[in-house]
Structure formats: structure tokens, C-alpha cells
């Protein structure tokens, strides 16, 4: 029997979903547990080594519960982890009708939850957030940043430089990173490091700035050495924001998608980061000037993220 993962990652979105499912699969592999990924037909993993025993691309939407259930039956997958936000009550009822046990990632804290567990990694999330939700009596709520999965290669060594780190994730950011770097470049004369995938449309735009202080790092599997040269980071409010908290670097974050809004707001509310709001809006360089002149954001408390989330979630899946 295998444990299944239902998510998607393509040229635009999904790197965070892929990364955390992949890390859980890696942990399960250590425990001799077979894993199968059920993904969309446009799945793209060109920038990450997969730890799944098998990857199945479905014919319809990656969130087609009927087809997913049939795959689970054919491949002997009695348990499924869902990492997308189209898991409505009909989706859940369909899986339940086929006898499939499932858990899911969530951010809305509303509606119905019929699965075995719900994971909400928002740094401010707690069980009280689900008071208005309809819960299965046996549903476990796994809330808070201790369930946030980060790149295991990251190190928390002392930062050595005065550079600025910019990264908007592993997909195409539609030039957002380039726009931010252009604004920083107007108010800051130190090193600026862009970390992006080859899918990013920001790369050629940054190269046009023709500034020797700006370095572009493409398709890095490990950016530890780059981040060590920086004292401030600007990232999207997804997986990257948790990695910045783990490293302990002051950072600002903004959101592209609905599921990132609460995360960006919670980082600011906790006093651990500065929220830039919606990243598709024009961002003025003035906030960056103030932040770079006086980096006074609080660094994360050590217990907030400890790098053990994959082990915690793997244990829940195996019980």
C-alpha cells in the first residue's frame, strides 16, 4: 500500500506545495513507506529532485475527486494528503464515499472538514480559528508554524554581509521581483541578490538594469551561501517567508494569492516581519529606504520553526 499526495505545480504556481509534499515523501521513504504523487497534466518539476516512488498525471483537473479516487483504488492508496485549495465539501464527500482517508492543507478556517486532519501553518493559527467550521469529530487540527516545512539544506549560521535578498518563489512572478529590485536599486547602493527559477520573467528585466551590484542566481537548489551575504530579505508570503523566519533574517513579505494574505498579515502582527501587501500593486521604494536604513525587525524566537515539521506530519500519516 502507498500514501498518496494530491497537489500540482506548474510554470506559474505551486512550488511551495511541491516542496513540502516532496519533503514529507522523503521522510516517509526513510521509514520504508511507498508514496505516489497525483498531479495535474501540466505538472513541472524541472528544478527539484523528487522523492516520490511514482508520479501520476491525471487527465482532467488535478482536483477531480472522482478520477483521484479511482487512481487511489487502482494503486492501493488508502490514505491521501491533499495540498490544494479546491477541496470543497463535494470533493471531500466523494473521497469519503470511496473509503479514502485523507488530510488536507488549509488556510480559510471555514466550511466543512471531513478528513482525518487539517494542517494550517499560519504563524498565528490555532484551534480557535476553526470555531465556525464544521468538523468531523475525529479531525485533528495541526496548527501553527511548527508544521511549516522548510528546505532541509538551510543553515542558521551568522549572516556575514549587508546585501539584500529577493525571491518570489519558483514560478513565473510576472516581473514582480524585477520591479522590487528596481525600487531598491534607487535607494540602496549595496549588493542585491535575486534568486529565481529559469521560469521567472524578472531575470531579463533585472539584467537590463546593468548594475554590477545586482547578482542573479538561477535555479538554485540551495541558497544558503547567498542568504549568508545578506542582512535583509524580500520574499513572497508562502514557503519562503517561513524559511526566512527559520534562518533568522529580518524580512518583508507580500502576497500574490488569497491563501498568502493571512500569512503576510500574521507575520506583521507577530512583529517578526513587515508586510508589503499585494505584490501585484506598484510598490514605492520609500518603505525599503526606511527598512534598509534601520533594520530593527524582531528576529524569530527559536521554537517557532525547528525544521521537524515533515517528521510530525509523516507520523500523523502513518497512524
Is residue 78 helix, strand or coil?
Answer: coil
Full-model pTM? 0.84
pLDDT for 225: 86
- Which pLDDT does position 293 carry in this prediction? 67
Long-range contacts of 201-205 (CB under 8 A, 24+ apart): 201/172, 201/173, 201/174, 201/175, 202/168, 202/173, 202/175, 202/176, 202/177, 202/178, 203/178, 205/175, 205/178
The per-residue pLDDT for 104 is 96
Helix segments in the chain, DSSP class H: 15-30, 65-74, 89-97, 176-187, 202-209, 224-227, 239-247, 258-270, 286-293, 309-318
CA 66 to chain centre: 27
65-83: pLDDT as tens digits:
999 999 999 999 999 999 9
pLDDT, one tens digit per residue, over 156-173 is: 666 678 899 999 987 788
Mean pLDDT by 10 residues, the chain (319 residues): 90 77 96 95 78 92 89 97 92 95 94 95 93 90 93 69 87 86 87 90 90 91 86 90 88 87 90 84 65 59 76 96
Query: Given this model, what pLDDT does residue 311 score?
Result: 96
pLDDT tens sequence across 129-139: 999 998 888 89
pLDDT value at residue 131: 93
Cell of 240: 519562503
pLDDT of residue 284: 60
Tell me what pLDDT residue 67 has.
94
pLDDT for position 31: 96
Amino acid at each position: 500500500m502507498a500514501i498518496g499526495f494530491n497537489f500540482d505545480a506548474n510554470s506559474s504556481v505551486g512550488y511551495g506545495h511541491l516542496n513540502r509534499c516532496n519533503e514529507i515523501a522523503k521522510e516517509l521513504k526513510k521509514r520504508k513507506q511507498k508514496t505516489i504523487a497525483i498531479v495535474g497534466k501540466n505538472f513541472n518539476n524541472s528544478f527539484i529532485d523528487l522523492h516520490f516512488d511514482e508520479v501520476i498525471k491525471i487527465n482532467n483537473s488535478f482536483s477531480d475527486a472522482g478520477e483521484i479516487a479511482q487512481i487511489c483504488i487502482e494503486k492501493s492508496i488508502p490514505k491521501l494528503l491533499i495540498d490544494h485549495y479546491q477541496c470543497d465539501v463535494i470533493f471531500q464527500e466523494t473521497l469519503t464515499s470511496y473509503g479514502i482517508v485523507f488530510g488536507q492543507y488549509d488556510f480559510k478556517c471555514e466550511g466543512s472538514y471531513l478528513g482525518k486532519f487539517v494542517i494550517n501553518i499560519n504563524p498565528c493559527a490555532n484551534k480557535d480559528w476553526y470555531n465556525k467550521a464544521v468538523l468531523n469529530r475525529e479531525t485533528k487540527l495541526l496548527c501553527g508554524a511548527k508544521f511549516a516545512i522548510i528546505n532541509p539544506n538551510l543553515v542558521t549560521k551568522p549572516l556575514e554581509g549587508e546585501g539584500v535578498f529577493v525571491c518570489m518563489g519558483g514560478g513565473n512572478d510576472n516581473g514582480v521581483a524585477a520591479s522590487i529590485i528596481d525600487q531598491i536599486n534607487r535607494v540602496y547602493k549595496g549588493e542585491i541578490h535575486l534568486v529565481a527559477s529559469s521560469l521567472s520573467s524578472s531575470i531579463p528585466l533585472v539584467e537590463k538594469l546593468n548594475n554590477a551590484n545586482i547578482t542573479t542566481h538561477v535555479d538554485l537548489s540551495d541558497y544558503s551561501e547567498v542568504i549568508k551575504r545578506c542582512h535583509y530579505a524580500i520574499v513572497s508570503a508562502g514557503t519562503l517567508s517561513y524559511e526566512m523566519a527559520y534562518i533568522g533574517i529580518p524580512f518583508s513579505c507580500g502576497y500574490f494569492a488569497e491563501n498568502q494574505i493571512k500569512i503576510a498579515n500574521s507575520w506583521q502582527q507577530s512583529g517578526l516581519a513587515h508586510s508589503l501587501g499585494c505584490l501585484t500593486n506598484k510598490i514605492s521604494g520609500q518603505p525599503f529606504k526606511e527598512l534598509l536604513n534601520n533594520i530593527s525587525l524582531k528576529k524569530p524566537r527559536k521554537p517557532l520553526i525547528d525544521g521537524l515539521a515533515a517528521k510530525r506530519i509523516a507520523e500523523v500519516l502513518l497512524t
